[in-house]
Chain A
Amino acid sequence: MVLDARIPSGPIEKKWDRARFELKLVSPANKRRFNVIIVGTGLAGASAAATLAELGYNVKTFCFQDSPRRAHSIAAQGGINAAKNYRNDGDSIFRLFYDTVKGGDFRSREANVYRLAQVSVEIIDQCVAQGVPFAREYGGLLDNRSFGGAQVSRTFYARGQTGQQLLLGAYQAMARQVEAGKVQVFPRTEMLDLVVVDGRARGVVVRDLVSGEVSSHAGDAVVLATGGYGNAYYLSTNAKGSNVTAAWRAHRRGACFANPCFTQIHPTCIPVTGHYQSKLTLMSESLRNDGRIWVPKTKGDKRPPNEIPEEERDYYLERRYPSFGNLVPRDVASRNAKAVCDEGRGVGPTGLGVYLDFADAIARLGRETIAERYGNLFEMYEKITGEDPYRVPMRIYPAVHYTMGGLWVDYNLMTTIPGLYAIGECNFSDHGANRLGASALMQGLADGYFILPYTIGDYLAQHLGERVTTDHPAFAQVESEVRERYHKLLNASGKRSVDSFHRELGLLLWDHCGMERSQKSLETALAKIPELRQEYHDNVKVLGSAESLNQSLEKAGRVADFFELAELMCIDALERRESCGAHFRIESQTPEGEAKRDDERYSYVAAWQRKEDGDGWTAHKEPLEFEYVQLTQRSYK
C-alpha cells in the first residue's frame, strides 16, 4: 500500500483554494441521490450532518447516547481558537498555523494545519449566526482569552461551557434538517462494524441498544466522527461511553491507524481519590490564565497551603519557562507536574497533586471577575472535592484527555478505505504529537462545516448510480460476525466483571505507556497485554441477554476492542524511538529534560495496517515535509 496524502500543489496559502477548484462537484439535482452515513453526533458529526443535508444529501446519523445532543464534545470547557486578530495583538492565519505545528512538535501535516487556520475564522462567523452565546465585552463585541502554547489572545469562549454551546449550535442545525426530512437520527444505536464491498465502504452494521436488534444500513459513503480512544486507559476525562469500537472495526476492515501512541495527558485535572474512581474531571486549561501553579520547595511539606510562606513555594513553571510561564503547552505542564511529584513535593493526601492558586488573581481582579470567568468550574471543583477554591488553592494532577492519533486520512479526510471518511478527534490529522488547548473544537467544526462537505463530493461524483443495498450478501455476513462476537462474550461465563479487566488494562497502559515510556516499560506491557486479553475472553462475566438493553454487554464489546488497540499503542510507542510532544521516551531527552526529537529518522506519520490474517501489523510511513515552518527544538523558556 502506498499512502497518498493527496496534498494539492502550489503555495500553502493557495492549496485549499486549488483543492476546492479541482475537486469534482455533484450537481444540486444529483445530491439527493446520495445517502451518507455519519457515525457520531459530536461537533464533527453533527456539523457534518447538518451541512451535508443543507447541501441536499440524504443523511443518516447514529449515536450511542439517548440524544445526539449528549455527545462528549459537550464537556469541552475552555474555548475555540480562531485567527480573527480581534485583539490587534499580532495574530494571523500564519501565526495560528505556526503555533499549531510547533505545539504539535512538528509531527503534523503542514497543509492540513494551514487549512485549519484558514477556516477557523469562518467557524466563529457560523457559530455566532447560529446564536451561540459567546462571551462579549460591554461594547457588544466578542471577547477573547489566552490559552497554552500561544502568546496572543485568540480563544473565543462561552463561560466554561464552550463545547456545550457549540455542540448545541450544531445539534440544532442538525435538528433543523431532521425537520426538513434530510437527516434521520438513530439514537441509542451503536455502530459495531463496517461493511466493505469491492474495496469500498458501503455501509455499517449497528445494534439498537434498547431492543438489542442487529441491523444493516447501506450508504454511498460512511463518515466516522466517533471521537478519541482515551478510555483505553480506563481513567480519563472522557465520558464513560466514549470508545474506539467504530474506528477500530474500520481499522480491522482495512483502514490504517496512525500514530496511536500520541495520547495527550492534560495537566489540570482533579486528582484521583480512591479505587472506586470511575473517571477523572478536567479543570479547563483557561484556569492557567489566572491561576499560578506551585508546590512546596521542601519535600514532604505537609502544612496546609495557606500556611506555606511565599518564599517557600516553588512556582516551577514560571521559574523554568519565564516567557510562557503557566501557559506552556499541555505536554510540558504535565511532565513538570509529574517530575515535582516524583521528587516527593506533591501535595494532597496521595502526594499526586500540585496547587493551582487563584489568591493573587483574586487580589488583583476581585472575586467577582474571577467568578465571572470561571464560576462554573469553581463550583464543579467544590462539588467534587468539598473544598472552596476561592479560599484554598485547587489541587490538580495530569490525566488522559485527548488522543492525537487516529484513523489515517488524506488531505480530503478519506481513510485508506475508499468511501470511508474520518473527521474530528477520530482522525489523526492536525495536532501532531500534542494538541494545543481550544483547538479540538476548532478542528471538529472545521472538518464538519467546511472541509468534509466539499471533499466528500469529489468521491461521490465519481460513483453516481453505483448503488449497493443491504440485500448484498456482505451485510448478512458482517451481521452474523457481530452476533457471534456478542454471543461469545455472553457465553464466556467467567468470574470477573468487564470493569475489573478494564481497570487493570488501564493501569497497565498508564504505568507503561503513559506520561513517560521506555523500551523496557513498553516491552513489559507488550508481554502482559496479550495474556490479560486472553484471560478477558476466557474469564469475563456478562449477565443478561443480547436481546434487550444490556449495559454490561455494551461495555464488554468496547473493552474487547480497547485490548487490541492497547497493543498497537505500545508497538507504535516502542517503534518511535524519539520523544516528541506528548510521546516522551525517557531515552530521548535534552539535558534540561525536554522532549528530544529525532527528525532525521522519525519525521513521519506511522500508519499501521492490520495484517489480513490478523496476526500483527504492517507499518507504513508518510514522510512529513516542512516547507514553511523551520524545525527547531521547541522552547517555551
Chain B
Amino acid sequence: MNLTLYVWRQAGPGEPGAMKRYDVPDVSPDMSFLEMLDVLNERLLERGEEPIAFDHDCREGICGSCGMVINGRPHGPQRKTTACQLHMRHFRDGDSIYVEPWRAAAFPVIKDLVVDRSAFDRIIEAGGYISVNAGAAPEANVIPVPKDDAEAAFDAAACIGCGACVAACPNGAAQLFTAAKITHLGLMPQGQAERQRRVVKMVAQMEDEAFGSCTNHRECEAVCPKGIAITTIARMNRDYLKARLFGKG
C-alpha cells in the first residue's frame, strides 16, 4: 500500500506546530499503525530529518502509553482498539491519514505526538485507592464478592489511562477516567469505607486540573479502547451527590 500521512510536528512545549506531509510507500497490511510509523521514522532518519516522537511501550493495548488522533478519532477508526493494536489492513491503498496528538487543555503537548497526562496520576493520588497497609489484610476469602459485582468492577477497572476519553470530549473532560476508578472501587465491598470521601476528593482534584465538564456527548464512551461505559459517570454523580448531601465527604 502507498499512503500519504499528515503528521503534527511540534519541536517542544509552547512552540508553534504544524501538520507536515509524508509519502509512505510500501506499507504492508500486516503492520501495526506504530510499525508503519517506525518505518517512516527510519526513512526520515536516513534523510537526516528528526524522527516523529510518539509515546508507546507495550504495543499490546494494555499499558496505555500510545495515543494519537488518527483521522479525527482518538486511536483511529477501529472500535475498542488502541493505536498500537490498529493494523494497516484497515486502511486502503492511496489513503490520506491525518495524525495528531491528544488535544486537550489538561494534556499540553511536549513534542510532536507526545503529551503530558500527569493530571490523571494526580486524580488517582487524590483518592483512587483503598487504604490498606501491607500486612494488615484479612484472609482473602473472608469477604465473598458476588460474581456479578466482581465482573462489573472489572469492566470499570479495565481502564488503561490512555486519555482518549479526554481527547474525544468536546469539553476535554475527564469524567469517564475518574468515574471508572470510582466505580471499580465503589463496587467492591472492600471499597465501601472510603466511598464517600473518595468520590469527593477525586472530583475536587479533577476540577482543579484543566479538564472541562461533562455535558453528555458520549464521545468518550465511543472511543474508549476498553469499552468503559458512561453508566460509570452516572454512578459517580450519584455517589458524589449522596456524599455532598448526606455524607461526611
Contact = CB atoms under 8 A, between A and B. Distances in A.
A172 interface: yes
12 contacts: A47-B134, A54-B133, A68-B121, A128-B137, A131-B185, A175-B125, A175-B128, A278-B32, A278-B35, A449-B135, A543-B48, A552-B51
Interface of B: 11-12, 28, 30-32, 34-35, 38-39, 42, 45-46, 48-51, 53, 55-65, 78, 80-81, 85-87, 89, 110-111, 114, 116-118, 120-121, 124-141, 143-147, 150-151, 153-154, 157-158, 160-161, 184-185, 188, 190-191
A515 B188 CA distance: 44
B42 A70 contact: no
Nearest to A453: B134
Contact of A161 (B85, B89, B146, B158): B158
B146 A386 contact: no
A454 to B, nearest CB: 10
A384 B85 contact: yes
B120 A497 contact: no
B35 A159 contact: no
A84 interface: yes
Contact of B144 (A47, A133, A140, A164): A140
A163 B117 CA distance: 22
A229 B13 CA distance: 33
Interface in A132-157: 133-142
A67 B161 contact: yes
A129 B135 CA distance: 10
A136 B154 CA distance: 11
B58 A499 contact: no
A125 interface: yes
Contacts of A21: none
A129 B45 contact: no
A569 to B, nearest CB: 24
A154 to B, nearest CB: 13
A71 to B, nearest CB: 8
B243 to A, nearest CB: 18
A358 to B, nearest CB: 20
A274 B31 contact: yes
Interface in A147-187: 158-159, 161, 163-165, 168, 171-173, 175-176, 178-179, 185, 187
A118 to B, nearest CB: 14
A129 B48 contact: no
Interface residues of A, number: 80
Contact of B125 (A75, A86, A158, A179): A179
B129 A84 contact: no
Contacts of A172: 124, 128-130
Count chain B CB atoms within 10 A of each CB in A124, A129, A449 and give the residue with the most: A129
Interface string A260-283: 000000000000011011110110
Contact of A241 (B57, B60, B114): B57
Interface in A298-350: none
Contacts of B140: 84, 124-125, 127-129, 142
A176 B136 CA distance: 16
Contacts of A450: 134-135
A273 B126 CA distance: 44
Interface in A61-96: 65-70, 72, 74-75, 84, 86
A69 B58 contact: no
A561 interface: no
Contacts of A135: 150
B89 A131 contact: no
Interface in A403-429: none
B64 A137 contact: no
A72 B150 contact: no
Nearest to A545: B50
A278 B34 contact: yes
Contacts of A131: 130, 153, 184-185, 188, 190-191
A178 B125 contact: yes
Top 6 closest pairs, chain A to chain B, by CB: A140-B144, A129-B137, A172-B129, A133-B154, A125-B137, A239-B57
Contacts of B134: 47, 50-51, 54, 126, 173, 449-450, 453
